[in-house]
Structure 1
Amino acid sequence: MMTKGNGTRRVVVTGLGVVTPIGLNVADFWSSMKAGKSGVSELGGFPLEDLKILIAAQIKGFDPKVQLKGYKRDKIIMHADRYSWFAAAAAAEAVEQSGLEFPLENPYRTACIIGSGAGGLTTFENAYRDLFIHNKRATNPLTLLRIIGSSASAHVGIEYGIKGPTFATCSACSTASHAIGIARDYIQNDLADVAIAGASESVINYGTMKAWQALHVLSPQGCFPFAKKRNGTVLGEGAGILILEEYEHAKRRGATILAELSGYGMASDSQDMVKPTVEGPSFAMNMALEDAGIEASEIDYLNAHGTATRDNDINETRAIKEVFKNAASKLAISSTKSMTGHALGAGGGIEAVACIKAMQENWVPPTIGLDEADPECDLDYIPNEGRNLTVNYAMSNSFAFGGLNAVIVFGPPPA
């Protein structure tokens, strides 16, 4: 059995799946990134009433009947919440790429950890509109099942006959990275051989827009991470899912190994709900590097949390400098949220896929809309156009409200 130096089992990635505002699958998502395409558009699909923020990165043209036509075992997926649809579609794409035959021989050694920052919020809003505005006497009988934050993991688990640990993580914008890290720990520590891991989010509705508007962190113009002109983030939606496997398990079945999940770190600021520290993100990055057994200078590409909020971008820049020291100025960094918007809990899953694609293709995606950088954000944020770059190791940062930090490092497939 191939283990790391500390005796734990090695974990590799064999499948990727996404649903995003710039592509409903990995191929379309990646070609949009190559074109520097923005998924931000005019808000629509529900009554806008008195909203002041009128843009979001919404997913257009997602038809569950088309996207989920392969689902056989899960009888009610078509009646699920939109966030469960996104998770189901991304999981199906990742499973197909992995070549795994489900249900697996030992379903109790398979995990399905798909998180969500908010679960079925659109269902909530529709149910409350029915009850309180339209004076209906009851809600749809499936309302409860649609709302639950673990529904996506349950739907996917049912479809693929997964009987091992199946649940959701919830840590705001770090949700997906925590899910992927926990799944990795289960495989590393011999509780599972295979895991479907990531997160899904679909919360763009009137109530959510009002709530975010009240916090004054949304931009009326667009998502411009690290730019001098930035004035807030843009809400997005979608899902990002990975298939993780124990290395020998993947090798035995002749799987194509896309990357190794080499390192994982997490830390909490334990200070403030919205104001980040430098210390928490720095500790999580250092922990992920230590776990991967590499030096900071060995990271070739960093997918930043990069939300385009005033404090966050400056703070992340400082944390990167703290961790990377002299190597910080040579590091290629970008915020792909400039294209996808901020998909909240799903962000880390979508960004993990971007990291692995960057490694496969030796091309790193840009931070679009970066015409003039904030003087306090003075690192190489790959402005406006992606570039060719050999990527052996990539890091993905997820830093959430509440000061919840999770960092993942991907490395080359084990030789």
Structure 2
Amino acid sequence: MSGSDVVITGLGAITPFGVGAAAVRQALLERRTAFASSAPTMDAMPPLEPFLSARVAESAASTVLGKKGLRAVNPESQLFIAAAQLALREAGVDSAHLDPTHIGLFAGTVRGGLDEYLRYHIESLVWGMHRVSATRGPNTGFNAPASHGSIRLKLQAANMTLSSRTAASLDAISQGADFIRKGRARFILAGGIETFSYAAADALHADGQVPSGPPRPYDAQRGRPVPGEGAVVLLLETRENAQARGAKILATVGAWSTAFEPAIRGASVAAAGVRSLKGALSREGIEAKGIGAIFSSAAGSVETDAAEAQALGEVFGPALSETPLCAVKGTAGEWDGASGALQALAAVQTLAEGVLPPTAGTESVDPALPRMRIPKEPLAGTYQRALVHVLDPSGRSSTLILRGAEG
């Protein structure tokens, strides 16, 4: 298997738009958001003032997995396992009938297990250790979703959790593809999971970062990102393996590059974007004009949107005004560690179906930014390559190029 093309044959998603990747696709095409005023709660902690966010229905995971065996599994892990199961189903793979050493699971997350960690300690302090169940211990780490997923789905080839800020799930997909290329697994389930936790909501209140309205990526009137949550998982395998079992190939995984520049100032953040963008294009062996569509990480932040636009402008030059761009967070909100997987999902669907989704919330692009082409309606076209770019305000950036099914 070493050196073979890595392809994507399955997509799974549990999101504020419903169960399945098709629900995400429809919402993006319609610019239909799921934002509502709400706030997470936690026993023995003061209630938080509700604000705008995009939340997943509490029953979403159980509609896929049923309720048996989920009591000791935290919400993040339930959503991630359900998304992984959906990806397997779409690809026509039954993990129960595979050699478990042939399939692995890679997850990207920033806050996985954080609320369980807080709840574990709060309950022990408020009510005493006799009220704390030892079965909840495994839910308190970042690696809980990947670990629970591997146990439930009986996967033994590999288990990895990445927490590289908003680049985490895109890095998980890219690392998973490298794992396949090296012949270390037959299949890798890779993606991301994030829930809008009590701790995250409390931090936004404390930092004065509560959004006052819907996100407006790159818009002249943009303010702050709006938090969201969800799980997205892609199934990766070699082209030869997919063809041998008659699977439908959705897209091909191309070059990946990552970079980091300390976020001392906006220019440093933009420099990280430039490095990862140039690195991916160089490894792909193409110029920027060879990209058919861009899936950016803009979420409506004044500073980070500007830094990403600056990086794209420096690398793409005049081609940026001609290359259509989609910022999915205008519809879905900021998913932190799961954002890259959401962007990749949208890119795969665009390559497979030939229609780029519009960007919700962007009405008038900030004239101070480089000129960009951001469609307000679905845009049909022949898309051979899509570029997925993540830029985190910390100065972390990752870029992944995806190709069409034929590679």
The question of 1:313 aligning with 2:305 is answered yes
Q: What amino acid is aligned across from residue 88 of structure 1 in structure 2?
A: I
Contact 1:201-1:238 at 8 Å conserved across structures: yes
- Listed as ranges, the gaps of 5+ residues in structure 1 are none
Aligned residue in 1 for 2:155: 162
Partner of 1:34: 29
1:91 aligns with 2:84: yes
Aligned counterparts of 2:125 and 2:313: Cα–Cα separation in 1: 51
- Seen in structure 2, the aligned counterparts of structure 1 residues 276 and 86 have a Cα distance that, compared at 3 Å, is farther
Indicate conservation of the 8 Å contact 1:17/1:25, yes or no. yes
Cα deviation, 1:156-195, whole Å, max 9, x if unaligned, reads 2223322112121111111101101111111112222210
Amino acid in structure 1 at the alignment position of 2:24: F
**Preserved CA contact (<8 Å) 1:369 1:384:** no
Aligned-partner Cα distance in 1 for 2:127–2:359: 44
Partner of 1:208: 200
Whether the 8 Å contact between 2:266 and 2:303 is mirrored in structure 1 is: no
Q: Contact conserved, 1:228 with 1:372, CA < 8 A, in 2?
A: yes
Distance change >3 Å, CA 243–CA 273, structure 1 → 2 = farther
Q: Which moved more, 1:91-100 or 1:392-401?
A: 392-401
SS in 2 for 1:277: helix
Which stretch of the first structure deviates more once superposed, 289-298 or 34-43? 289-298
Residue 334 of structure 1 is aligned with which of 322, 326, 329?
326
Note the alpha carbon deviations across 1:210-263, whole angstroms, 9 max, x for none. 212333444221211111111111111111110000111111111111000011
Of the three residues 241, 254, 258, the one matched with 2:233 is: 241
Match of 2:113 in 1: 120
Q: Report which stretch shifted further, 78-87 or 266-275.
A: 266-275
Conserved 8 A contact 1:115-1:150: no
Query: What is the rounded CA distance, in whole Å, between the counterparts of 1:381 and 1:135 in structure 2?
Result: 58
Tell me how far apart the structure 2 counterparts of residues 76 and 256 of structure 1 sit (CA, whole Å).
Answer: 32
Structure having the higher helix fraction is 2
Question: Residue 279 of structure 1: SS of its match in structure 2?
Answer: helix
- For residues 381 and 124 of structure 1, the distance between their equivalents in structure 2, rounded to whole angstroms, comes to 43
1: CA distance, partners of 2:59 / 2:374: 30
Q: Does the 8 Å contact 1:20/1:238 carry over to 2? A: yes
- The code of the aligned residue for 1:183 comes to G
**Displacement of 1:351 after TM fit?**
1.3
Distance 1:246 1:39 in 2: 36
Q: CA RMSD in A?
A: 2.4
Q: Contact 1:19/1:238 (CA < 8 Å) preserved in 2?
A: yes
DSSP-derived class of the 1:208 partner: helix
Preserved CA contact (<8 Å) 2:266 2:304? no
Which residue of 2 is the match for residue 250 of structure 1?
242
Residue equivalent to 1:18: 13
1:227 aligns with 2:219: yes
Q: Distance in 1 between matches of 2:76 and 2:267?
A: 28
Give distance in 2, aligned partners of 1:203 and 1:44.
9
Displacement after TM superposition at 1:51 (Å): 4.5
The separation in 2 between residues aligned to 1:231 and 1:61, in whole angstroms, is: 29
Q: 1:209: how far off? A: 1.4
Is the aligned partner of 1:66 residue 2:63?
yes
What is the percentage of aligned positions where both structures have the same residue?
23
1:412 maps to a residue whose letter is G
**1:56 is aligned to 2:49:** no
1:53 positional shift = 6.3
CA distance in 2, matches of 1:24, 1:217: 30
Query: Residue 292 and residue 356 in structure 1: after superposition, are their counterparts in 2 closer, same or farther (change >3 A)?
Result: same
Distance 1:333 1:63, change over 3 A: closer
Residues 348-406 of structure 1 show CA distances to partners (whole Å, capped at 9, x for unaligned) of: 11111111111112111122122222112343352543322322111111222432211
- Shift, 1:92, TM fit: 0.8
Distance 2:186 2:121 in 1: 42
TM-score by length of 2: 0.92
**How far apart, CA to CA, are the structure 2 residues paired with 1:166 and 1:385?**
40
Q: Are 1:400 and 2:397 matched, yes or no?
A: no
- Deviation at 1:45? 4.9
> 2:166 matched to 1:173?
yes
Query: How do 1:78-157 residues align onto structure 2 when only pairs under 5 Å count?
Result: 78-103=71-96, 105-133=98-126, 137-157=130-150
Distance 1:140 1:243, change over 3 A: same
Structure 1 residue matching 2:214: 3-state secondary structure: coil
Which of the numbers 332, 335, 343 marks the counterpart of 2:335?
343
- The answer to whether the 8 Å contact 1:107/1:161 transfers is yes
Cα displacement string for residues 67-118 of structure 1 (whole angstroms, at most 9, x for unaligned residues):
312x9xxx74443111111111110110001112324654324221112111
